[in-house]
Amino acid sequence: MAIQTVATTPIPGQRPGTSGLRKKVTVFQQPSYLENFIQSVFDTLGDTSGKTLVLGGDGRFHNRDAIQIILKMAAANGFARVLLGQGGILSTPATSCVIRKHGAFGGIILSASHNPGGPDGDFGVKYNSSNGGPAPEQLTEAIYERSQSISRYRISDALDIYIDSLGTEHIEDMAVEIIDPVADYAELMSRLFDFEAIRKLFAGGFTMRFDGMHAVSGPYAKTILEDMLGAPHGTVINAVPLEDFGGHHPDPNPVNASELVALMAADHAPDFGAASDGDADRNMILGREFDVTPSDSLAVLAEHARVAPGYAAGLKGIARSMPTSRAADRVAEALGIQCYETPTGWKYFGTLLDAGRATLCGEESYGTGSDHIREKDGVWAVLFWLNLQAATGKSVEEIVTAHWARFGRHYYSRHDYEGIDADAAKLLMQDLRIKLPNLPGNTMNHYTIAAADDFEYTDPVDGSHASQQGVRIMMTDGSRIVYRLSGTGTEGATLRVYLERYEADVSQQHIPTQQALASLIALADSMASIVMHTGRTNPSVIT
């Protein structure tokens, strides 16, 4: 075994987006592509000698190959120890948990999260810091800068190691401890939630279906729900992670998880339905014939947080991404705590969580989490909802409709135009930005525009600044349209249009969402000339 220094040249485009570097598998398979990026990460981190790194992924195609390369590079860059999930598996939340629990220097997560997998699908790499959270913007920018001047990488010429049994292996002077990917995480969950109450709920005949979507949440959900909490076998479906997610899109929303949605509307439907995404940080919550918007889920969990032992002392604050509905703001106000509005992407919550300013965080994109780790957490959210149902004896629908009656309902929908021409998307956003100063005061489709801007954010903890985070059009009645371009896609561009309307009148809170938002949707289309710019008359996905 010997450490090699290999000459290389910069590869354009290695800039991480909303959450890590995501590209087609075929791009990652190009010579030096992964090596250049990983060496750029290590170079940017500075002195890595003697440090501990956590490593794992969501099991998608290319995971195993990438793990062997990264292990050999970590050994060549002086790391003393790697904690590796058995079989190369570690969900995003479990990685965050393991980094924190073992005081690691940082971690590498191999995942393109909700993007499709397989040889023709996507692959991704994220770096998380010692707090367990995604690298902040300054760090990802520095990594990108480094990737554009890199001239060599270091790698051991050791043979591949066997990663499927627990125990310790060695590469050069570095120990590779192969750990149970579920154990630390499951132990943390058992301290946050009332497992006794949830066990009683299942013992009393409560039924649930958790769809692992053949992604990485399956092993976690199976161990916790079926083994630890006594849910009947078969509660967790599609539980085995597959390299191509069984050909499905591991993005839990009512469109991609349509089978689960149909089951929840069938005769003898389970009491509760849930699903998670590729790397298990997203969650979808369903009742019988009832789906909960992620924005409402955050607000409801905040309202009832004290039922869970981990949150019995109450919340310090709430944080939500800008496009997420303002349902949580109303709860924060009632609780007398702060609600922070951040740009899209979990990395912006890190400072607020570290500073003890926020306890719960959420995004409209099926992401919910808390200060227990520094990532959003799918299984955690499902356990929170189970705890809530066990504590109140109420159904999902009863809990949410009571919430609306108390706080009002924020009708909410996101319209995605996927795979549109990248230049056309840029032009659409540019045109909108030019219009902004002239919009306030105008009345269109019965809406009067109160304010319009391009969202900017200054982090209240470290003062860092982010601009151009989404165009917001705010109406005088509190309704809102937000436009932004996705930072996770790998083909063309994706335009996301976020629509929100507030309804305080209980008699008007049960209209089908698209109907309730119809005139706002029409306004959003015409204001941005979506058809003209994209050639699309309809969004490709509505959630």
- Beta strands (DSSP E) in 59-151 are 81-89, 106-110, 122-128
| Strands of the 409-420 sheet, one edge to the other | 443-444, 447-454, 471-475, 480-485, 493-503, 409-420, 541-542
DSSP code of residue 89: E
**Alpha-carbon distances, residue 273 vs 236, 270, 385, 397 (angstroms):** 10, 7, 10, 12
Other residues' Cβ atoms within 10 Å of the Cβ of residue 482: 23
Binding residue (CB under 6 A) for ligand VG1 from 413, 488, 490, 534: 488
Residue 173 or 418: the one with the smaller Cβ distance to ligand VG1 is 418
d(CA 321, CA 457): 11
Q: Which one of the spans 7-15, 343-351, 420-428, 505-513 is the region binding ligand VG1 (CB under 6 A)?
A: 343-351
Q: Which of residues 111-150 bind Co ion (CB under 5 A)?
A: 113
Residue 281 or 329: the one with the smaller Cβ distance to Co ion is 281
CB of 280 to Co ion, least distance (A): 7
Cβ contact 355:361 at 8 Å: no
Binding residue (CB under 6 A) for ligand VG1 from 18, 223, 370, 387: 18
Cβ contact 80:48 at 8 Å: no
Cβ contact 410:501 at 8 Å: yes
DSSP code of residue 193: S
Q: Which one of the spans 59-67, 170-178, 339-347, 501-509 is the region binding ligand VG1 (CB under 6 A)?
A: 339-347
Residue 181 or 278: the one with the smaller Cβ distance to ligand VG1 is 278
| Strands of the 52-57 sheet, one edge to the other | 21-24, 122-128, 106-110, 52-57, 81-89, 174-179, 167-171
d(CA 444, CA 415): 20
d(CA 422, CA 389): 44
User: If contact means CB under 5 to 8 A according to the sort of partner, which of Co ion, ligand VG1, none does residue 470 touch?
Assistant: none
d(CA 22, CA 125): 7
Total residues binding Co ion (CB under 5 A): 4
Residue 176 or 260: the one with the smaller Cβ distance to Co ion is 260
Binding residue (CB under 6 A) for ligand VG1 from 113, 256, 276, 351: 113
d(CA 320, CA 323): 8
CB of 465 to ligand VG1, least distance (A): 19
User: If contact means CB under 5 to 8 A according to the sort of partner, which of Co ion, ligand VG1, none does residue 496 touch?
Assistant: ligand VG1
Residue 187 or 456: the one with the smaller Cβ distance to ligand VG1 is 456
**43 lies in the binding site for Co ion (CB under 5 A):** no
What string marks each residue from 79 to 118 as x (binds Co ion by CB under 5 A) or -? Answer: ----------------------------------x-----
Phi-psi group of 377: left, alpha or beta (phi > 0 → left; psi -120 to 50 → alpha; rest → beta):
beta
Total residues binding ligand VG1 (CB under 6 A): 18
Residue 61 or 404: the one with the smaller Cβ distance to Co ion is 61
Cβ-Cβ contacts under 8 Å for 210 (sequence gap 6 or more): 217, 221, 225, 235, 236, 237, 273, 274, 275, 276, 382
**419 lies in the binding site for ligand VG1 (CB under 6 A):** no
Is 467 catalytic? The answer is no
Binding residue (CB under 6 A) for ligand VG1 from 107, 116, 181, 345: 345
What string marks each residue from 364 to 403 as x (binds ligand VG1 by CB under 6 A) or -? Answer: -x-x------------------------------------
Q: What are the beta bridge partners of residue 21? A: 125
Binding residue (CB under 6 A) for ligand VG1 from 23, 114, 330, 374: 114
According to the 3-state scheme, what is the secondary structure of 275-303? EECCCCCEEEEEECCEEECHHHHHHHHHH
Cβ-Cβ contacts under 8 Å for 416 (sequence gap 6 or more): 486, 494, 495, 496, 497, 539, 540, 541, 542, 543
Q: Which of residues 196-235 bind Co ion (CB under 5 A)?
A: none
d(CA 360, CA 323): 16
Picking from 520, 491, 482, the residue whose alpha carbon sits closest to that of residue 503 is: 520
What string marks each residue from 249 to 288 as x (binds Co ion by CB under 5 A) or -? Answer: ----------------------------x-x-x-------
**486 lies in the binding site for ligand VG1 (CB under 6 A):** yes
Q: Which of residues 248-307 bind ligand VG1 (CB under 6 A)?
A: 277, 281-282
CB of 142 to Co ion, least distance (A): 24
CB of 148 to Co ion, least distance (A): 27
Residue 318 or 399: the one with the smaller Cβ distance to ligand VG1 is 318
Picking from 494, 496, 493, the residue whose alpha carbon sits closest to that of residue 482 is: 496
Residue 400 or 482: the one with the smaller Cβ distance to ligand VG1 is 482
CB of 278 to Co ion, least distance (A): 6
d(CA 70, CA 54): 11
Residue 276 or 359: the one with the smaller Cβ distance to ligand VG1 is 276
Q: Which one of the spans 32-40, 341-349, 451-459, 532-540 is the region binding ligand VG1 (CB under 6 A)?
A: 341-349
Q: Which tokens in the block code for residue 510?
A: 């049960």
Q: Which of residues 142-171 bind ligand VG1 (CB under 6 A)?
A: none
CB of 475 to ligand VG1, least distance (A): 23
CB of 404 to ligand VG1, least distance (A): 24
**416 lies in the binding site for ligand VG1 (CB under 6 A):** no
List interacting residues with ligand VG1 (CB under 6 A).
18-19, 113-114, 277, 281-282, 321, 344-346, 363, 365, 367, 486-488, 496
Which residues of this chain interact with Co ion, rule CB under 5 A? Answer: 113, 277, 279, 281
Catalytic residues: 113
